[in-house]
Every structure is written in C-alpha cells, then in structure tokens.
Structure 1
C-alpha cells in the first residue's frame, strides 16, 4: 500500500456490529481513517461518537442497493476519498433448514447481499484501488470449503467469495493491488441471532463453552494482512477456534 497509516483510508462494509465494528475500531486505533457502511444509521453514529468524526465517516445504505452505493461513494468528504483498502464484510446467513425446506426468499437475500452487493462495491472501487495500489480483503467462511447440513445457499455464497477473490488476484496481476479471502470458523457475533431469527437459546447452545473466535480476533487478522509489506499477498487464510475441527462424512443407512 502506498499510503502511510496516518493518511490511509479503509472502507468497511457491514460495520454496524460484529466483525465490521471491531475492524473499524482496530484501524482507527492504528491511526487510519475509516468509512463504515451499514443499514443501521444509529449504530454507525454510535461508532462515530466513540471513535471520532475526524477518523470515522458513516455511510448508511443497503449493500443491495446499487444507486445507494453510488450516492454514498460520490458523497464522501474529500478527506475520505482516497480509499486504500476495501474490507468486504457485509453479509448474512438466513435459516438453518435443509434445502428442500429452505425459503427461496432467504436464498435470494443471501445471494443479493453476500455476492451481488460485494461485487458491485468492489467493481465501483477498483479504479481507486488500482490507482493507489491498495488492497481488497473479502470475508468468506470455512463454509466455502466444508459443507454442512443447512449450509446450502450460504455456503455457496461464501464459496463464490473465495473464488472471486482468487479471480481478482489473477486479473489484478501487475497492478500492485493485493486481494485476500479471510475464512473464519465459529466466531461469536450477531450472526447466529440473525440466522435463527433472534433465537437466543440457539445462540447460547452454539457458543456455550466453545471458546469461539471473537470479532476482535478477525479484526486483528484483517489488520495484520493489510499492514504486511506491499510485496506480500495472503491469498486466503482459514481460522477456527481450537475447539472446532472437522466433522466426519455422513452415511445414511436404510432401515436404521
């Protein structure tokens, strides 16, 4: 990255909670300017009040709305226009049912958010990132590699994010732009509450005693990747809590 920390700017999508909010805090602590996006303007404003208006610019929009993305980027204050790093964090999982019982609208929402929104804002910022020899860090998931019951469309969207990241690396060869796919496993955040429609019991059952990764762990990893020497690229990085490993293959037996 050509800029120094004192003049560097990162845009973090989905910055109202979890990974995104933790990432905003980590970069501000290191002296970066941060643009945080999300649908919940009140939460973005809370981050501004916490971290300072000179360091954080809130951009409230839905990542699925192309026109809103364009309007928000066009309205950036001059001090925040030189974006050196794009962190594509906005995303969600909806439902845990098997494919045959899943809601099609949930699938469409996940695809529109995790895939279409991500590629739209990436495409919009590529000229700036190329000019500044910047970086793109995309939040994928271990679900991109390891299928599990109920993962269906969510896992498919995260597999897209991983492959899209590798494809970007190939296309951006020679530009100096770095691209990384970050692929976390079990991490404690609002993710599960969103996925289960606010089921606190499901949240407690999933994370209880698991010593899951925390959003700050992901933020630290993102910061580490972003601040490596400019000749180094981390293509993909997969992480899990020590408590999580790999499940056996499923075998269905007739009559059992």
Structure 2
C-alpha cells in the first residue's frame, strides 16, 4: 500500500517526527560508557509513554523476524546494523552505537536512526562510516521532490556510498510510512535514476542509508532479529522521515530545537 497524506495531516506528521528526533537526541546524551542497552530501551519506553505515543516496535511481528520484537527501540552495537534487539550489554569506550526508533502519535508514524561513537575514543573508520551515511541521507533527500522517482533517491544515496568505498546491500532500505510504519514503496540504497514510483505531495518516506565496512552480506543473530555484518566488521546507519511537498521534501524527524 502507498499512502498519501492530506495537507491537514501534515502538522501531526511534523509533531510525531519531532518527538522521534527529540527522544533519539535525549537517548544519545544519556548513552555513556557503562550504559546498558536495556536501560536505553526502558528510557525509550518511558519517553514514548510520557508523550502519549505508541511504539511501532514492541508488537512488531513481520515475516523476517522471530515473534514480536518485544522492545521499544533498536540498539545496534559495532557489527549490528539493523533490527538490533536490546540485550544485557554495557557500552564500552569507542563502541559505535546505532539507535533506530519509530513511534506513532495521532495516527501518523515517524521513523529515524542515528549512529554515534560512545565515550572518548573516536576510531577513524567509525567516524568515516557515520559521515558517509549522513552524506548519503542528505543526497537522497536532495533528490526527492514532486515528480521525481524513487530511483532518483536510490541513485543519489548509492552514488555517495559507492564513492566512499562501501559495498551496498539491497535487501533492506528505506520505505513508505504513514498511518503504519512500513509501507510501499521500497527505497533501495542504490538504483537507477528515472525508474520506479513517481513521488507525489503527501507521500512520506523513511530514507535510511546504512553500510558495513567490508561486506554487503548480513547474518541474523540467534535472537531472530539482530542483523550483523557477516565478517564482524563495523557498521553505521542514518535515517530521516521526509514528506514530499509541493516544492520539494521536508525533513520531519528534526529535533524541536532544530526546526524552523
């Protein structure tokens, strides 16, 4: 299903997007050496509840997972890049942490992810990977707008990731979003320009470039959810939810303090 929001629902989409971004920034500020992933999950649960919102993850049970996800946020450490299920692990100095959060409020969902390094150590490879995904995300957003096609976004993202030297996996990528978290169209992280669904005002998309340092192959953890690099290499992931407008694309998942 591809859902087109009416202009009257865009303010709610902005509110939900800002909530997601604010929670992610709050969690980032609390994530320090020694912080347990289960603590982060509890903090996310409490913030979602305080806002009167609903988790898109806790009861999420798609065909590729094993049972309901059962947690409120995805936490990926180092080689874990997607669907990272929180577990009893204390963060160490230099860990590369990805937080991926989706919530629904007022009937509209928003989805975003950030990657950052915990503590004082700043491994050069991790810094470069995070930067590449952030640049690719910016390029994808710049390519989006009314009349553009999904392939234009995919091509823009893929060009940045490929020029940075990273293999690209096409199994998982961006997606439509609206009253539910995962909708069509699929937005691969590489593709051919001028191909695919033509973008229309009111369409919401979650764009999410992610990379693994030296492989495009994923393996699934014993938990049935967490996807890791097949070689154990580090990974990074950046994501925004955007709205296609009459004159371009609006980033919905900006923190309140960063909004115009």
Q: TM-score, normalised by structure 2?
A: 0.32
From the CA coordinates, give the structure whose radius of gyration is larger: 1
Q: TM-score, normalised by structure 1?
A: 0.32
- The one of the two structures with greater contact order (alpha-carbon pairs below 8 A, sep at least 6) is 2
Q: Greater share of strand residues, 1 or 2?
A: 2
